[in-house]
Structures are given as structure tokens and as C-alpha cells.
Amino acid sequence: MKILPKQAQVVIIGGGVIGCSVAYHLTKLGWPDIVLLERRELTCGTTWHAAGLVGQLRATKNMTLLAQYTSELYATLEEETGQATGFKQNGSISVAPDKERFEELKRGASMAKCFGLEVEVITPKEAVEMHSLLNIDDLEGAVFLPKDGQTNPIDVTQALAKGAKMGGARIFEGIKVSGIQSRKGRVTGVNTDQGDITSEIVVNCAGLWGREVGLMAGVNVPLFAAEHFYIVTDEIGLPSNLPVLRDPNGWIYAKEDAGKMLVGSFEPKSKPRPLHTIPDDFSFGQFPDDWEHFEPSMMNAIHRMPKLEDAGIQTFFNGPESFTPDNRYILGEAQELKKFFVAAGFNSIGIQSAGGAGKALAEWIVNGHPTMDLSDVDIRRFHPFQVNSKYLEERTSEALGLLYAMHWPFHQPETGRGVRKSVLHDRLEKAGACFGEMSGWERVNWFAEAGTKPNYEYSYGRQNWFEFSASEHNAARENVALFDMSSFGKFLLQGPDTEKIMNRICANDVSVPPGKAVYTTWLNERGGIESDLTVTRLREDLFLVITAGASQTRDLAWLHKNISEDARTTVTDVTSGYTVLSLMGPESRNLMSKLTPDDLSNQAFPFGTGREIEIGYAKALALRMTYVGELGWEIYLPAEFAQDIYDKIIDTGADHGLKLAGMHALNSLRLEKAYRHWGHDITDEDSPLEAGLGFAVKFDKKGGFIGRDALLKQKETKVLKRRLVQFALDDPQPLLYHNEPIWCGGKILGDLTSGMYGHTIGTCLGMGYVSSEDGVSKEFLESNSFEIEVAGERYPARPSLTAFYDPKSERVRM
Ligand SMILES: Cc1cc2nc3c(=O)[nH]c(=O)nc-3n(C[C@H](O)[C@H](O)[C@H](O)COP(=O)(O)OP(=O)(O)OC[C@H]3O[C@@H](n4cnc5c(N)ncnc54)[C@H](O)[C@@H]3O)c2cc1C
């Protein structure tokens, strides 16, 4: 029997494919003092029964890069460790039985090109030549990814474990972690059923037990188990090089397995499985069959591969997998406890993600920060309420099916809704609001006009709200529009050290007189953008930070990380206390002047200032800022005053052409103004210089700021080889969303980070980073022709380094 050590540099909890991959990659980075604890046996949780599909194309560039790395790793692991993995690259075919799905696949294929992934759009005939079982009668087309493949999950995990051991890691089976030790907000070790281990770092790779292991440490890990089904037929003589098949409309995937066919399903309504229904000693376990539940998927499989009708079924499998509220896995250092890391909630793609996720997390642990933009999967994207089990159970019933549902633009989840509502919610609903969900908030995306229903009719073309949103957009440009922006994250920082601290965290100068509002980025030491937001100095020692709702947890974590314990400043999250009414448009001053005795003239209340005003019976903070590029104010009201003020604005607004407006109009307006959106256009990988935000960086301010040295180095290079560029399509028909390739001179020089129709410009706009060894200057853009690829077709596009609408921002300062 192995003796459990008393101490290790890193303790990893969980011996599935993920825990073993993290251990493997830590040793590769030269960290041998790793202890991995598994409560039963390696792979005994979810890993052992995975179907073993290893796809590469994900929704974003970095997720695809990580999945690509997984394949590369699995291809070499046997040679390195001597342990077979069963990995083969037999390719995969995804089929489309209708035009919409084919458009989705073609858009995906275009995106794949940006990431250097081999992909072919193929005809049904070509598909059946590769996969002879296919019924192609109803197919529009298909996509073939030659480098996709499959592996044996148990063997691959054992190979990772062996590789980790070869690098010095110690793996203990039959050891259950029962508690997490911590001191002063930092993890210090674990308790187990066979003694305690002290450690600098603990990594939670406990799979579907990850939420409970997180709660031992006071860390929110929002995941929930669901049953996942597949069948394996009798031997039907399939060739071993048969490509993997995905028929998302039929909810099924199928792979060859020793001459048999394995058919798995991502059905629209799944069966969540609360942890208390899974026995404590669950190990290599499975749940009872549920043929009634699986039958519709099987019928779809038979329709697609008629030969299956005659095949006997050898195995019916039903096992657990964990799902997250947004179908993306959970990676990174928990904001609640320093040096406690999480890699869990893999939404049925844990095998294909394990290599990349393990590498990315190991680098994060060793370097103290992520080495690429991981915002898609970063644990800090979640909000504390999302660990709520009722919410998770509901959302999980939908999450499994979303893997194969149409990935419509602007698609909204149907479960776990109505969680966070502005106090104006009911009024907005009465006015025809169609709500979308963001971090639990119900936010208005658009308003249905009289006689129509506020429901999405999804498509890749112009959706049913297109014209409604256009008139909301036009109201903001021509008259005035009212947006409910209550979902903004809002933090108050107070105390004598606040100015000094904020000026170190912000790249812009926030040592300004009270009443001044400053747009700024927060940078990391590498000069990458951790956030962009507005800081308003309310008093000498009181600052208000306003950030995007989705960034609330992350930005709060960044503040706590960068404020030392002995600093004389407090941070209070006041998000829930304030309703935010954003009145934007050339008529906003005239409208507001009827509701306030305060002087709103340009002289008295210029752009970039904030002050308390009287409005209705209330006192409010008014900020003269904008995300739409017009004259306007954001009005911050203690929530209990908001309904009355809203009613007064609506009554008064009738004379000023006021329209209620939603997030889709906001997106269109901001793209015309080239305003960036954190998480899409700017991330911790992008610098403000590349992103065109150098105007908000004050290199010479007293005391410097985080990231200054890295940025100065970049500044010295004079010509930037990578820059965020705006594009406008010549043809107003095609619609852009994100990740469309940017072509120039027969080469892909980048891809779009955002896209939306600009109603004032009258065509689709996008922005994306363009890279060129010659440098990306105005001259470079003017002397080259650019095209944007949409679903395989290329469309000429006009590039610009400045905004297409009001590039001098004169309207903002009216
Ligand atoms: C039917 C099915 C088919 C699938 N097919 C595919 C596929 O084709 N491709 C793909 O990419 N993915 C697939 N998946 C998903 C994939 O299997 C998972 O995402 C992956 O195995 C998750 O790995 P893990 O290491 O996070 O979890 P697990 O394998 O469950 O590992 C977690 C480990 O933690 C241990 N543990 C828990 N609590 C403690 C504790 N307190 N102390 C010590 N140890 C603890 C558990 O015993 C367990 O071994 C499939 C899943 C299912 C259910």
C-alpha cells in the first residue's frame, strides 16, 4: 500500500481524463511534485464510458486551438508513454437535411478556415461515398473534417496518467477528499479519508462531483449531471476507417466500434440527475435503460442509416455527464479562494477537450495567469446564483440538447428564465419587450410592434425583429431612445487610498476632479485588456465603477486581486441597488430638461461628466456617457424610484419621438461607432494599442499603471502588425455575426470578432483583427482589397481604422 504524503506542491482531486491531463501537463512544465487523488479508480466516474469522439471545430478560435492540440497530443501519446490510446483520425461528416442547417455547417466551415482547420463542404453524393450506410435522400449537403477522429477514453486517460507518473507525479486511488483547508482566503491543502495533505495549490477535477467539492471550499462550480445515452449494435462488419457521423437534426452521432456501430444522442429534452440520486460508491456505474426516452433518437438513426434496422443491439448504455448553464466548460482559479483551481463541467466534450484544457490550466497554474484568452470557459464568467441547484437542474434539461440544436444567431435559452429582473420588467413586458437572457438577467433585446408577438423567429437571414430594431436604432440617431441598462455591474470604491489604487489599476488617468467620468481599460502585466469600463469620481474618496453585466464577477475579482489587504479602501458591489435608464439621442436633452430643474447644457454638463440631478421626485446620478454615439445620459436611480421616473419619461417622451429600445439596436449603434465589446473585440490577449484604444492610455501619469511596461515595449515597435479594423460590406444583403474570415490578396488575414447590420450606414458592419508582417496602417488598408467570407461566399468589404458613423464624435459632444 502506498503511503499518502503529508505535503505536495499541487493536489489534484479526481482521476478522470481531465485530472490526469492536468497532472500530465504540470509535469511537462517541470512541476513534478504533484499528487492526484482518486476516490475509487482512475476513469471510474464519467470517463470510462465516453464514446470517445474527438472533434476539433469549436465555436471560437481559442477553443478550436485547444481541441486541435488535443488531437495532436493523442496522436503522439502512445509513442511517448508506451500505452496504447486507440486514437485514429478517420474524419467526421456532419450532414444537413435542410437549408438552415447547411448554412450553419457552411458558416462553421468558413470559420474553420480562420483557424487553419482542414474542412471540406461536400455534396450528399460525396458523403455517401465516404460513409456507405448513409441515406442521402433528404440531404442538402454535408461538411467533412478529415482530421477529426476517435479514441479509447480509458486508454487515453491511462496514457496521460502514465506520462504524468513518468514526469514525477504520484497517483493515489481509493482516496476520497473530504474537505478543503484554507487560511486567509488562500487554499492550504485537503482533508482525505486517510489523512491530510498540505499543498500550495489544489485543483478540482472531480467531474460531476465538482460542484460539491467546490462547495467544500466555498467556491461556486455551477454544474449538474444529466443522463446521456448510447447504444452499440452487434457486429455488422463496418470498416475501421468509417468516418464519425453527426446528424444534428436527428440528434445523433455514430461511430464505428470494432465492426459495430455506436449511436449516441443529444435529445432536446434530457434527464437531469441530482447528485443525491447517484450512490456514494458509484464507480464504473450506469443508470437503468430508458428505451422510451431513446427510441425517437434511434428512429432518427435508422432513418439516416437504414441498415441499423436489421442490426441487433448489444449494449444499451446510460451514464452521467455534467453540464453547465452555458454549455461551456469551467476552467481557472476560483475568485472565492486563491490558488484553488477548477477544471470540470465538460458538457459531453471532455475527451476531446482534455488535452487542451489540461495544458491551458497547467500553464495558468505555473504562470499565475492564463496564457491565452480563455474567457469562453473562465470560471469568473459565472455569477454566484448560478450554483443554485434548482436553476442548474432546469437549465440542464435543455443544455444537453443544445449541443445539436441549431446554433441560431441570437438564440435564447428557454429554461432557467426570469431569474434576475429589473424593477421595470413588467412595464417593459407590457410595452412589447422580447427579453433575452444574460447572466440570469432578463434584458430587452427588441420590442414587438402593435399586432405582433414578442417571440423570436430564428433564421440566418433577417429575423422577424429586424425592422422593429431598425426603428429603435433610428430613434436613437434621430430623436431619442430609452434603454434599460440595469444589468450593468456597479461597484463603489471608498476610502483614502482609493485614488491611488484606482490609478494603478486603470490605464487611463482617473486622478480627476469629482464629477468627471473616465472611460478606461484595466490591463494585465502583459498589456492585455482585462476589462473596459467607466470610472466616475463622485467625491475625493469615492469612485463608481460601471461595467458590463457579464463582467460583474470577473471585474470584482480583478479589483480584489489588485487591492492589498492593508489598503484603506473598501469595494462594495451595488449592482442590485440601482436601476439604470439610458436616454440616448439628439432629443435627450430637451426631453430630460422637462423632468429636471438642473442645467443640462453643454457648458454646465459636458460629455464625460457625472453629477447628481433632481428628476421627478428623485435624486439621481446622471452620467453623460454613451455606447451608441449620440448625445445622452445614463441615469442611475435607487431602484425604488425607478418606476415613477420611467413613467414620467414615457409620458414626456411622446412629444420628443421617444422609443423604447433593446440590446439588438444597441449592438447595431455601437458597431457603427466602432465601440468595442469586451470578450469579443477585446480580451486579455489584445492590447489597447492593437485594439485602437491607445487614446485611453496615459503612459506618463504619476505612479504608472499595471501593464505599462509591456505596452511601452509594444509602442516602441512603431508599426503594429495586428490591429482591430472596421469593415462595411459593399453588398447590404449578407449578415455578419462573428468569426467570418477576412480575406486580402488571396490570404486570410484575420476573422471578425463582432458583426451586425448598421441601420444608419445601411449595410452589415463587422470588426476584427487584421495581421500583416508589413504592419497594418491606413495606407496598407487603403492599398489593398478586402473581402469577408460568409458561408463559403466572399463579399467585398471596405476597411476603416475609424468608425463609419461620426468618426470625429461630434454628435456625442453636442
Ligand atoms: C455516454 C457518454 C458519452 C460521451 N462521449 C464523449 C465523446 O464522444 N467525446 C467527448 O469528448 N466526451 C464524451 N463524453 C464526455 C466525457 O466522458 C466527459 O466530459 C469526461 O469524461 C469528463 O471527465 P472528468 O475527468 O471531468 O470527469 P470524471 O471522469 O467523472 O472524473 C472525475 C473523477 O473525480 C473523482 N472524484 C470525485 N469526487 C472525488 C473526491 N471527493 N475525492 C477524490 N476523487 C473524487 C471521481 O471518482 C471521478 O473518477 C461522454 C460522456 C458520456 C456520459
Q: How far is 661 from 217, CA to CA, in rounded Å? A: 42
Whether residue 795 contacts residue 730, with contact meaning beta carbons closer than 8 Å, is answered with: yes
- 334 alpha carbon – ligand 1 mean position (Å): 20
Q: Which atom of ligand 1 is nearest to the CA of 352?
A: 11
Rounded to the nearest whole angstrom, what is the distance from the C-alpha of residue 463 to the centroid of ligand 1? 39
**Rounded Cα–Cα distance for residues 807 and 185 (Å):** 47
Q: What is the pLDDT of residues 552-569, one digit of tens each?
A: 999 999 999 999 989 999
Reduce the DSSP state of residue 181 to 3 states and report it. Answer: strand
How confident is residue 1, by pLDDT bands cut at 50, 70 and 90? low
Distance in Å, CA 45 to ligand 1 centroid:
5
Q: How far is the CA of 746 from the centre of ligand 1 (A)?
A: 43
Length of the chain as a residue count: 814
Phi, psi torsion values for 29, nearest 5 degrees: -90, 10
pLDDT digits (tens, 9 = 90+) for 147-199: 999 999 999 999 999 999 999 999 999 999 999 999 999 999 999 999 999 99
Q: Which atom of ligand 1 is nearest to the CA of 229?
A: 1
User: In the structure, which protein residues have their CB atom closer than 6 angstroms to any atom of ligand 1?
Assistant: 13-19, 37-40, 44-47, 49-53, 176-177, 205-209, 213, 228, 230, 264, 319-321, 344, 346, 348-352
The DSSP bridge partners found for residue 374 are none
Burial 325-353 (b: 16+ CB within 10 A, else e): bbbbbbbbbbbbbebbbbbbbbbbbbbbb
Note the pLDDT tens digit of each residue in 187-232: 999 999 999 999 999 999 999 999 999 999 999 999 999 999 999 9
- Is the Cβ–Cβ distance between 472 and 465 less than 8 Å? no
Query: Whose Cα sits closest to atom 52 in ligand 1?
Result: 50
Name the 3-class secondary structure at 570.
strand
CA distance 341 to 34: 14
* Collapsed DSSP state (helix, strand, coil) of residue 473: helix
- The Å distance, Cα 154 to ligand 1 centre, comes to 11
Number of the ligand 1 atom closest to the C-alpha atom of 41: 49
Please state, rounded to an integer, the average pLDDT across all residues of the chain.
97
Q: What are phi and psi of 34, to 5 degrees?
A: -115, 135
Closest among 627, 744, 604 to 678, alpha carbons compared: 627
Q: Which three cell numbers stand for residue 85?
A: 490510446
Mean pLDDT of 714-728: 93
Strand blocks (E) in 512-593 = 517-523, 529-539, 542-547, 570-573, 578-584
DSSP symbols for 630-682: SSEEEEEEEGGGHHHHHHHHHHHHGGGTEEE--HHHHHHHHHHTT---BTTTB
Query: Where is 34: in which H helix or E strand?
Result: strand 34-38
In this structure, what C-alpha cell is assigned to residue 664?
439588438
What is the full DSSP assignment across 717-765?
A: T-S-SEEEEEEEESSSSS---S--EEEETTEEEEEEEEEEEETTTTEEE
User: Could you tell me the distance, in angstroms and rounded to a whole number, from the CA of residue 240 to the centre of ligand 1?
Assistant: 26
pLDDT in tens, 396-423: 999 999 999 999 999 999 999 999 999 9
Please report the sign of the dihedral spanned by the C-alpha atoms of residue 571, residue 575, residue 578, residue 582: positive
Q: Averaged over 283-294, what is the pLDDT?
A: 96
Specify the ligand 1 atom closest to the Cα of 53: 8
Atom of ligand 1 nearest to the CA of 343: 26
pLDDT of residue 480: 98
| Spacing, Cα 134 to ligand 1 middle (Å) | 31
Grid cell digits, residue 140: 442538402
Q: Whose CA is nearest to atom 37 of ligand 1?
A: 206
Is residue 288 over pLDDT 80?
yes
Q: Which residues are within 8 A (CB) of 329 and not within 5 positions of it... i.e. 6 or more apart?
A: 343, 344, 345, 346, 347, 349, 350, 353, 357, 377
Q: Could you identify the atom of ligand 1 that is nearest to the CA of residue 20?
A: 25
Kindly report the protein residue whose alpha carbon is nearest to atom 12 of ligand 1: 349
Give tens-digit pLDDT for 351-384.
Answer: 999 999 999 999 999 999 999 999 999 999 999 9
Ligand 1, residues 37, 87, 209: which to mutate, most atoms within 8 A of Cβ? 209
Q: Is 260 helix (H, G, I), strand (E, B) or coil?
A: strand
What is the three-state SS of 79-127?
HHHCCCCCCECCCEEEEECCHHHHHHHHHHHHHHHHCCCCCEEECHHHH
Q: How many whole angstroms separate alpha carbon 751 and alpha carbon 768?
A: 6
The C-alpha cell 458613423 sits at: 805
**Tens digits of per-residue pLDDT, 748-796?**
999 999 999 999 999 999 999 999 998 999 999 999 999 999 999 999 9
- DSSP three-state, residue 176: coil
Q: Show the cell assigned to 209.
A: 462531483
| Atom number in ligand 1 closest to CA 175 | 43
Residue 37 CA, ligand 1 centroid: distance in Å: 15
Which ligand 1 atom sits nearest the alpha carbon of residue 348? Answer: 15
State which ligand 1 atom lies nearest to the alpha carbon of 208. Answer: 30
In whole angstroms, what is the distance from residue 452 CA to residue 563 CA?
Answer: 51
Ligand 1 centroid – CA 630 distance (Å): 51
In this predicted model, what pLDDT tens digit does every residue of 631-657 receive, in sequence order? Answer: 999 999 999 999 999 999 999 999 999
Average pLDDT estimate for 510-524 = 98
Please give the distance, rounded to the nearest whole angstrom, from the Cα atom of residue 67 to the centre of ligand 1.
17
At residue 719, does pLDDT exceed 90?
A: no
Dihedral angle of Cα 625, 630, 636, 642, to the nearest 10 degrees? 180
CB 532 within 8 A of CB 519: yes
| Phi, psi (degrees; rounded to nearest 5) at 632 | 175, 170
Closest-CA residue, ligand 1 atom 2, reads: 50
Has residue 2 got a pLDDT over 90? Answer: no
The residues with which 787 forms a beta bridge, in sequence order, are 743, 796
> Which residues fall within 8 angstroms of residue 709, CB to CB, at 6 or more apart?
525
Q: How far apart are CA 274 and CA 261, in angstroms?
A: 30
Q: What HEC string does 194-247 produce?
A: CEEEEEEEEEECCHHHHHHHHHHCCCCCCCEEEEEEEEEECCCCCCCCCCEEEE
Q: What is the pLDDT of residues 662-706, one digit of tens each?
A: 999 999 999 999 999 999 999 999 999 999 999 999 999 999 999
Ligand 1 mean position, distance from CA 225 (Å): 10
Distance 321 CA to ligand 1 centre (A): 7
Strands 195-204 and 7-13: parallel
Cβ–Cβ under 8 Å, residues 92 and 145? yes
Give residue 449's pLDDT band: very low, low, confident or very high (50, 70, 90): very high
Of ligand 1's listed atoms, the one at least distance from the Cα of 37 is 43
Distance 349 CA to ligand 1 centre (A): 10
Check residue 686 and give its pLDDT: 97
Cα 328 to middle of ligand 1, angstroms: 15
Candidates 176, 321, 322: which one to mutate for ligand 1, based on the most atoms within 8 Å of Cβ? 321
Q: State residue 516's pLDDT score.
A: 98
The residue whose CA has the least distance to atom 18 of ligand 1 is 350
pLDDT at position 115 is: 87
Residue nearest to atom 49 of ligand 1 (CA): 45
Query: Beta strand pairing status for 186-192 and 195-204?
Result: antiparallel
Across the range 582-608, mean pLDDT stands at 98
**What pLDDT sits at residue 85?**
97
User: 177, 351, 377: which to mutate for ligand 1, most atoms within 8 A of CB?
Assistant: 351
For residue 54, how far is its CA from the centre of ligand 1 (angstroms)? 15
Nearest CA to ligand 1 atom 31: 16
* Best mutation site among 20, 35, 36, 47 for ligand 1 pocket (most ligand atoms within 8 Å of CB): 47
Largest CA distance in the chain: 84
Ligand 1 centre from 348 Cα, in Å? 9
Q: 3-state DSSP call for residue 132?
A: coil
